[in-house]
Structure 1
């Protein structure tokens, strides 16, 4: 373990106490849960440092951008006025796994955070297949350090305003800067960093052989380019818009392409976290709950510390009713923890209903193996489809409502067999980011004319994108492309164009 602090820390803990409790947590994690973990590195920081990291999307080595400072100022104001509870920890999916703890935390809270982050999140990061497939825990810190240095160098060489312009546009397109379907088994950021450094050592040039196909005089305006030829030449359709711009934009300079590449890698790094937020938090919450109770049973937590823990834990997993003033949707901590607890219940004490709904899990007794299999092989959407039971649906008071915007709300699913299946399916759909994020692809480029970039948004269930969002994002896209950009919103069922937008670059 690695400890670092700038002050003496909180009143009721010291580093020796943390070492002892970490040792006891390790024993429980190894013998009771058999957790396979990255090595842990724990850093103790002030709440200002925590806010700084928290506002930089949880990455202390992140490059600078004005949006991070805006988040910092907002979070600090709310925190100082007691209007927002700051996250007590930040954990980084890296090898070693780095957990940041606030020095203002009590000893009980430090124990809780170590169990939650350094063991719960750590296990999920290392073992979940989405993280294993899409992220490079060994290379992320080195890559972020390189990215921060590179962008700082660009600011000094080309001016902060120019770099900010590219970053603004890239961040606006960050959600469309990921590849949702793997093209290779592993993703190695160390290789990406090495390749980037090798490219930067070469003489910078913006020449692109592709644009020899663009007519340079009127006599070539009718050069033959069929739709299939153009798409084959450009690798279309392409869902990863930042990747396409990095490789194919005719006007971007080499340093601008590298910045797009950096933002694209950061977006891809966080993509698994978007798909597993409920499971990740549920796993960490279940692990900390089990470990804290075992510490109490073994005499390492006093009654007072246990009461303090239960108050904090209960607040974290509190799920307000829909008519509660504090309701903000489904609490991922509450839902994830509830699902994990329910799996343990079905394994140990199944009812006849459980045996009918999940016969393989019911009564198997090996709840540790069942949970670890789920944590490894599922994301939020598939986890809900597989494990959400009628018992938990009743306990959490889930039901299905339909709102057509015209009449009163209609209850479409109640607590019967058909209703349980409907609720489970519809709830899983809500956690499926593929269904909930717009499906936008680059489908064509007018190589024979004005180089217009043509995009298409396929519409499912009648869900269009807000017009203001479209125009703002298309403006950023046009600035990166250098020419006009059009987006057609097309029905996935009929291929009929419902709306169309065109935006040109700012000159």
Structure 2
């Protein structure tokens, strides 16, 4: 496409057809020139109050009810109304389709930036980063949240709101300790196990030395020590995931309480890669949005004025002041 191509928009105003043109132009560059592999996109335009609401529920489009979400909403709303905090230009969710929330107050240039940043930069990272592929299920998270919301509501009807609230309070308190940081054991492959056993047997035969038989062994383990080891094995210890441990072994929990712990544990695990990859995730999205916006400007799809507006926002993001910078 030449530099005489028709601009995607003029000025700061936009409509939904403009967003569609911006998305299609960004998608063409992202796929054909950058080679990005992304989930299908779903773009939602929301108000400031809806953005505050998304803040309170960790950006998810649906969630079960809990008083802490209302507390977060009240805090963020008060801070926003007093001018103590601003709102993000967008929120993006690791799901399939990938949901990107755009603020309706954004100018057309900022909408183009946000679509390039979130709908293609973050989207590509979500789909291809190994931590997200290992610990999250983008295709199933929305269905699981729907199940969680319905299940918690049913528990409140059957068990009472207070009992459910107390269980969720306890689970939320342990949420940061309810994640698996390392992958579990892989499924056994009979053929591979037989080959491994054969290699081990050949090695033992080749390295056999009868002198090892004469080496004295340590003292025999007492019955108490054997009992402790047996109990640890039955409990699956050591276990770093406290929510999993309580879900499986706590003797006094009711089945519905175990399921609530399981729900909180799965949601905590879903968000685990987010905290582990913050810098890399934002770096990828920033690189992608710069490449796309720069290419749109080269193609004549955005004007010099729009590109300068983008550069002002972009440089504010990537600027790294020195440790003793007086600003």
What is the TM-score with the length of structure 1 in the denominator? 0.53
Which residue does the alignment assign to 1:76? 77
Shift of 1:247: 0.7
The answer to whether the Cα contact below 8 Å between 1:52 and 1:60 also exists between their aligned partners in 2 is: no
Shift of 1:234: 0.9
- How many Å separate the matches in 2 of 1:171 and 1:325? 40
- How many Å separate the matches in 2 of 1:279 and 1:58? 20
* Cα distance change of structure 1 residues 307 and 14 upon mapping to structure 2, 3 Å threshold: same
The answer to whether the Cα contact below 8 Å between 2:13 and 2:108 also exists between their aligned partners in 1 is: yes
The answer to whether the Cα contact below 8 Å between 1:38 and 1:96 also exists between their aligned partners in 2 is: yes
Larger Rg over CA atoms: 2
Higher strand residue share: 1
- How many Å separate the matches in 2 of 1:111 and 1:185? 43
- How many Å separate the matches in 1 of 2:249 and 2:280? 37
Shift of 1:293: 0.9
Shift of 1:184: 5.6
* Cα distance change of structure 1 residues 134 and 184 upon mapping to structure 2, 3 Å threshold: farther
C-alpha distance after superposition, 1:42-61 (max 9, x if no partner): 11111111111122111121
C-alpha distance after superposition, 1:11-65 (max 9, x if no partner): 7100111111111111111121011111111111111111111221111212122
- How many Å separate the matches in 1 of 2:60 and 2:244? 23
Which residue does the alignment assign to 1:277? 278
| Superposition pairs of residues 39-438 of structure 1, within 5 angstroms | 39-183=40-184, 226-324=227-325
Secondary structure of 1:42's partner?
A: strand
- How many Å separate the matches in 2 of 1:302 and 1:116? 19
Q: How many residue pairs end up in the alignment? A: 282
C-alpha distance after superposition, 1:229-280 (max 9, x if no partner): 1111111111111001001101111111111000000011111111111100
In the alignment, structure 2 segments of 5+ residues that lack a partner are 1-10, 188-222
- How many Å separate the matches in 2 of 1:64 and 1:156? 13
- How many Å separate the matches in 1 of 2:286 and 2:262? 35
The answer to whether the Cα contact below 8 Å between 2:12 and 2:109 also exists between their aligned partners in 1 is: no
| Superposition pairs of residues 444-459 of structure 1, within 5 angstroms | none
- How many Å separate the matches in 2 of 1:161 and 1:113? 41
Secondary structure of 1:17's partner?
A: helix
Computed over aligned residues only, the root mean square deviation of the Cα atoms, in angstroms, reads 2.0
In the alignment, structure 1 segments of 5+ residues that lack a partner are 1-9, 187-221, 327-507
* Cα distance change of structure 1 residues 31 and 224 upon mapping to structure 2, 3 Å threshold: closer
Q: Which has the higher contact order (CA 8 A, sep 6+)?
A: 2
C-alpha distance after superposition, 1:193-229 (max 9, x if no partner): xxxxxxxxxxxxxxxxxxxxxxxxxxxxx99962211
Higher helix residue share: 2
Secondary structure of 1:152's partner?
A: helix
* Cα distance change of structure 1 residues 153 and 292 upon mapping to structure 2, 3 Å threshold: same
Secondary structure of 1:90's partner?
A: strand
Secondary structure of 2:162's partner?
A: helix
1:26 aligns with 2:27: yes
Deviating above 3 A after TM superposition, structure 1's stretches of 4 or more consecutive aligned residues are 222-225, 323-326
Secondary structure of 1:44's partner?
A: strand
Secondary structure of 1:43's partner?
A: strand
C-alpha distance after superposition, 1:280-324 (max 9, x if no partner): 010001100111111111111112211211111122223343345
* Cα distance change of structure 1 residues 184 and 227 upon mapping to structure 2, 3 Å threshold: closer
Secondary structure of 1:226's partner?
A: helix
Secondary structure of 1:110's partner?
A: helix
